[in-house]
Amino acid sequence: MSLPELLPDTPEGHARAATLLGHGTLVALPTETVYGLAADATDDAAVAAIYAAKGRPGHNPLIVHVPDLATAEDIAAFSDAARALAHAFWPGPLTLVLPLKPDHGLSPRVTAGLPTVAIRVPAHPSMQAVLRAFGRPIAAPSANPSGKISATTPAHVLAGLGDRIAALLDAGPCAVGVESTILAPAPGGTRLLREGGLPREAIEHLTGPLIADTTPGAQIEAPGQLASHYAPETRLILGGTAQPGEIALGFGPMPCDLNLSPMADLAEAATNLFAALHTADALAAARAAPAIRVADVPEQGLGRAINDRLRRAAAPRD
Ligand code: TXA
Ligand code: MG
């Protein structure tokens, strides 16, 4: 495929994105968390093309995006607990894993043949506009090659997937910066499958303690939980003292090559995380640095999602 068509963040651009999705092509779309590699979730060939473009194993299911709870209820079966979560946090950076309803209309590839679906209502106004213009559910994993750093800017989408997409809707950088939090509400309690842009504390305020199920490699129910993920080319080391020649990625006031948040603000650090990893990786290549050394980030609020991504980025690869 040649260079993707760059779509403006205007009603015309949103309409064009919807038209291209209707033709079964892949379009990179902004969400408030990260950019998504989007296709018509009801079109088997289009969904297959997502897996091919990302190099993603076919057993790792995708997230389905819909404009509102009513549309989500056409596809998935909501318990009272699930509906309470949706009312509290949609639209927003929350994905719910729920039983599929009969006649859901999705390509079975979206769910990798599972009886459940991961579904979310994104808050990004451009994504909302495309969802409404398109009128069908949109399947979209993060817009990065499988296992690599997620993309929070149009430039990073182009760098990773530019030769594999028909178009990119350019809405600038993503505000939240880390992927959605994934929950699986169940009768015995709600399980936390992935830390993300909705902090655990905010959810637990509503639900009481979540059952954490996010240990790397412990349970591959959400294969985004695989230990090695979000990987830069350069080795990433968490904590400790930077050695001469290493690229220092800081948090809070400190000397470093680049800083996730000089003011130690976790929301700012989340917004900057993936772009900082991309930049640190490029710096390391330019300077032939042996490693990127990341300062400690507190394990609270959005720091949990940041540390989850950093731990996976630092995990040994096979
Ligand atoms: O913020 C986000 O969630 C972004 C934007 C684009 O919406 N999307 C995203 O998608 O992060 P992706 O494909 O990179 O991550 C989806 C995660 C994977 O870890 C996958 O294994 C899990 O959701 N997942 C999907 N369907 C599932 C299911 N039925 N049961 C358990 N996990 C599921
Ligand atoms: Mg991803």
Sequence ranges of the domains in the chain = 5-225, 235-314
CA distance 212 to 191: 6
Evaluate whether ipTM surpasses 0.95.
yes
Q: Give the ligand whose atoms come closest to the C-alpha of residue 224.
A: 1
Nearest listed ligand to the Cα of residue 112: 1
Spell out the per-residue pLDDT of the chain, length 318, in tens.
578 999 999 999 999 999 999 999 999 999 999 999 999 999 999 999 999 999 999 999 999 999 999 999 999 999 999 999 999 999 999 999 999 999 999 999 999 999 999 999 999 999 999 999 999 999 999 999 999 999 999 999 999 999 999 999 999 999 999 999 999 999 889 999 999 999 999 999 999 999 988 765 444 455 555 667 888 999 999 998 889 999 999 999 999 999 999 999 999 999 999 999 999 999 999 999 999 999 999 999 999 999 999 999 999 876
Is CATH 3.40.50 correct for 235-314?
yes
Query: What pTM did the predictor assign?
Result: 0.95
**Partners of residue 189 on adjacent β-strands:** 186
Quick one: how far is CA 312 from the chain centroid? Answer: 14
Residue 136 marked as a ligand binder:
no
Rounded to the nearest angstrom, the distance between the alpha carbon of 105 and the centre of ligand 1 is 19
For residue 41, which phi and psi values (nearest 5 degrees)?
A: -70, -10
Q: Which residues form ligand 1's pocket by a CB distance below 6 Å?
A: 31, 33-34, 36, 60-63, 95, 97, 111, 114, 116-118, 140-142, 179-180, 182, 193-194, 221-224
Name the CATH superfamily, with its identifier, for domain 5-225: DHBP synthase (3.90.870.10)
Give me the long-range contacts of 265-268 (CB less than 8 A, separation at least 24).
Answer: 266/297, 266/298, 266/300, 266/301, 266/302, 266/303, 266/306, 267/302
CA of 142 to the centre of ligand 2 (A): 4
The reply, when asked if residue 107 is annotated as ligand binding, is: no
Domains 5-225 and 235-314 share a fold: no
Cross-strand pairs, 65: 120, 138
> In ligand 1, which atom is closest to the CA atom of 56?
13
**In what order do the strands lie in the sheet containing 235-238?**
235-238, 291-294, 247-250, 258-259
What separation in Å is there between the alpha carbon of 244 and the centre of ligand 1? 38
